[in-house]
Every structure is written in C-alpha cells, then in structure tokens.
Structure 1
Amino acid sequence: MQPPEPQYEDAKPSPSSVQRKPPPGWVIGPDGKPCKICTAFRNWPRNVKASKVAVPASDSPGPAPATVAGAAAVALTQTDTTPLRSDNCPPDVEVLGRATWTFLHTTAAYYPEKPTPTQRANMLSLIRALPMLYPCSHCASDFDERVKEHPPNVSGRLGLSKWLCERHNEVNEKLGKEKFSCAIGNLDERWKDGPSDGSCD
C-alpha cells in the first residue's frame, strides 16, 4: 500500500472534493443543499434569457460592442434582481413566517381567558410541534431554542399573547426589524379588535 501523496498549499483540490457555493443570500438546509423555503424570494436565482438582448458585431453600425454589452449587462442585472412574485408561487421564508405569526397571534387573541386543562394541553402541543414540523429548518431550530429558554405561557389569553409577542420580537431583533409593543391593548388592536378608528370595521 502506497502512502498518500503529500498535499501542497498551491495544489488544487479535485472537482469532486470541492463543494459548490450556494447562490448569494441562499440558506443551506440540513441536507447540505440550498434550502428554497429557508430563503427569501428576492434571493432566489432568476431565469434570465440573454438571447433576447442583441449585441451587434464589431463591424455593425451603432455603438461599440463594449457599450452595448455594458447596456445588456445592466438590463440583465435589472431583470435578474427584480422580484416578480406571482400569487401562485410557493411561499418563501418571509411569506411563510408572516403567515405563521399571523396564525399564532390570532389564535392567542381568541384563546380563552381561563382555558380548560385540555385546551392548555392542546396549545402546548401546537407550540411544541412547530419546531418538529416547520419547513424552514433554521427557523424551526431557533424557535425550539426560544421555547426551551422561555416555556410557553398557556395559562390564558393574556399570558399566551404576551409570550408570543416576546418570541416574535426576538426574531424581529435578529432581523433588524422594529419591535412591537407587547401591551395587551396593542396586541388586541392588531390581532383581534382592529384600530379604534374603525378603519377595519
């Protein structure tokens, strides 16, 4: 059996040993591949058809090829970075997150003031099931950590609403978003009653 060949700093790794870098902004899932549901739609790669941009040959009249090529590059960049999301597209991490928080906050707003033992158990089951079932793996593990650090308050509507607001604010802080006031009046206005001006009635 021969000893392995020495590796030198300038030696190039074989193509099979090189892991492809994910596209910018993509999140890698637990399987080591780019995770579509974990990535914001604005970071999904776009299908740009360069064949639609005609670049004249060097002997053609008009701008120099470099100028046209530059204009084509600008056009491609603009097309490539414009998030044109149709309503029938699958959700990205932001759409899924907003829908999940909407569901949880609204459920808490209508949770009983004095829940029965069964209602408490069901709410705990729902919250504890989320990290196991949520499609975005890094979101799920983050929420799981938060639940372990701050056990859910399922004692009643007020406690649950405040607990969810605090967890949501932890996520907002990580994302650089503004925190929401967890005063029950603000929570009820947002998730149950609507603004006092009647604009949602």
Structure 2
Amino acid sequence: MATDAGTKFDEEWKRNNCPADVKTLGRHTWTLLHTMAAYYPEKPEKKQQESMKTFFESFSEHYPCWFCKNDFKKDMAENPIDVTSRETLSEWLCRRHNKVNEKLGKKQFDCSKVFERWMTGPANGKCDE
C-alpha cells in the first residue's frame, strides 16, 4: 500500500517538476497559439500583422522539439500564414493543428468552433469534447 502511494507521489512529482515531454509541450503550446490567435485584432494594423508573422517565423525556428518545428516550418512554407484578421489567423492555425492531429491519428477539430473553444468557451463549459 505504501509503495502505491509512493509511486503515485513520484509520478505526480515528475509530472509537475520535470521537463515537459513532447505531448505536454505540444498541448500547452497549442493552447497558447490558439489563444493568441483568438485575441488577435479583428482588423490588425500593419505593424500588428508584421509582428504576428515574425512571431510565427521565430517560433518555427526555436520550438524545442526538432521534428515538430521542422514539420511546422515545412507546413508554413506550403501554407503561408494569413495575418489579415483574427478570423483568418485562427482558421490558418486550426488547419495547421488539424494537419498535426491527422499525422498523430487524432480527431480533427471543427474550425468553425475556434472562438468558442479558445475565446468565449462553450455554453456547457466542456472545452475538451
């Protein structure tokens, strides 16, 4: 019995204190990126558009998962970022995320629900359904 509690404690400690694995890093990164896109201006000024484009270019250079960043860079080259509005950026990012989901054998996200998921929240309060 004590071993089970000790093992549970060790696993929880590692989860909270060790470096993020690829899965954890990815989940938190997508949360950040989608939230940034959801709160991006509806009609961004030129400077804001340039800044967001530069952010994603830098992100694809510095992301700490080499195969993830290489795939993302390649996808960005094939599908240039659209920073002309909140809607176009969110749609672009959702499509990039769905491409990763497809590669990982995960369910596709309905891109018409990006603002509900990442900005306003669904009426039932269950974001991960």
| TM superposition score normalised by structure 1 | 0.55
Percent identical across equivalent pairs? Answer: 50
Instruction: Indicate the residue corresponding to 1:194 in structure 2.
Output: 121
Pairs within 5 Å for 1:23-172: 84=11, 85-172=14-101
Distance 1:198 1:89 in 2: 30
RMSD over equivalenced CA pairs, Å? 1.8
Q: 1:198 to 1:87 in 2, by over 3 A?
A: closer
| TM superposition score normalised by structure 2 | 0.85
Distance 1:198 1:100 in 2: 21
Aligned residues between the structures: 117
Instruction: Indicate the residue corresponding to 1:179 in structure 2.
Output: 108
User: Helix, strand or coil for the counterpart of 2:15?
Assistant: coil
Instruction: Identify, as 1 or 2, the structure richer in helix.
Output: 2
Question: Relative contact order (alpha carbons < 8 A, sep ≥ 6): 1 or 2 greater?
Answer: 2
1:109-134 CA-to-partner distances (Å, cap 9, x unmatched) read 00001000110000000111112101
What stretches of structure 1 move > 4 A for 4+ residues in a row?
none
Distance 2:86 2:115 in 1: 10
Q: 1:100 to 1:198 in 2, by over 3 A?
A: closer
What one-letter code is carried by the residue in structure 1 that aligns with 2:43?
Answer: K
**Structure of higher CA gyration radius:** 1
Unaligned regions of 5+ residues in structure 1, if any? 1-78
Distance 1:148 1:126 in 2: 15
